Amino acid sequence: MVNASKLISIGIFSLSLMIGLGTFYVISDLSKQKRREHIEEIVSQLINFILYIWMGKIILNFSLFIKDPLAILAYPSNSHAFYFAILLSTLVNLLKSKYPSKNKPHFIESLVFVLLVMTFAYEFIQMFWNSNAYTYETLIVVGFLLVLFISLREKIASSTLLIVTITAWSGGMVLLDFIQPIVTLFGYIITPWFVGLYYLISMFIIINKRRRERRGRN
pLDDT tens-digit readout, 20-30: 999 999 998 88
Mean pLDDT for the stretch of residues 196-215: 82
- The verdict on residue 156 lying in a domain is yes
Write the CA distances from 165 to 112, 131, 136, 173, 217, integer angstroms.
9, 28, 20, 12, 26
* Dihedral angle computed from the Cα positions of residues 175, 204, 201 and 51, in that order, rounded to the nearest 10 degrees: 130
Within a domain: 213: yes
Q: Which of 52-61, 71-80, 136-145 shows the lowest mean pLDDT across its residues?
A: 71-80
What is the predicted pLDDT for the residue at 168?
95
184-198 average pLDDT score: 90
With 0-12 / 13-18 / 19 or more C-beta atoms within 10 angstroms meaning exposed / middle / buried, residue 110 is: buried
Helix (H/G/I), strand (E/B), else coil: 184: strand
Q: Which of 9-18, 60-69, 99-108 has the lowest mean pLDDT?
A: 99-108
Q: With respect to residue 54, please indicate whether it lies within any of the assigned structural domains.
A: no
Residue 163 lies in a domain: yes
Domain count, the chain: 1
Mean pLDDT of the chain: 84
- Work out the average pLDDT over 71-83: 77
SS3 for 79? helix
Determine the 3-state secondary structure of 43 from DSSP.
helix
- This prediction has a pTM of 0.86
Q: Is residue 83 part of a domain?
A: no
For residues 7-25, give the mean pLDDT: 90
The string over 47-56, giving b where at least 16 C-beta atoms fall within 10 Å of a residue's C-beta and e elsewhere, is eeeeebbeeb
**127 in any annotated domain:** yes
Task: Tell me, yes or no, whether 71 lies in a domain.
Answer: no
Task: For residue 52, tell me if it sits in a domain.
Answer: no
| Residue 62: pLDDT over 60 | yes
pLDDT at 175 > cutoff 70? yes
Q: Tens digits of per-residue pLDDT, 93-102?
A: 766 766 555 5
Q: What is the rounded average pLDDT of the residues 48-63?
A: 86
The stretch 119-133 carries a mean pLDDT of 84
End-to-end CA distance of the chain: 59
Domain residue limits at 120: 4-33+97-217
Q: How confident is the model at residue 1 (pLDDT cuts 50, 70, 90)?
A: very low
pLDDT number for residue 5: 67
Q: Where are the alpha helices (DSSP H) in the chain?
A: 4-27, 32-60, 62-67, 71-74, 79-97, 107-129, 135-152, 158-179, 192-217
Q: Cα–Cα distance between 16 and 78 in angstroms, integer?
A: 21
pLDDT of residue 166 exceeding 70, the answer is yes
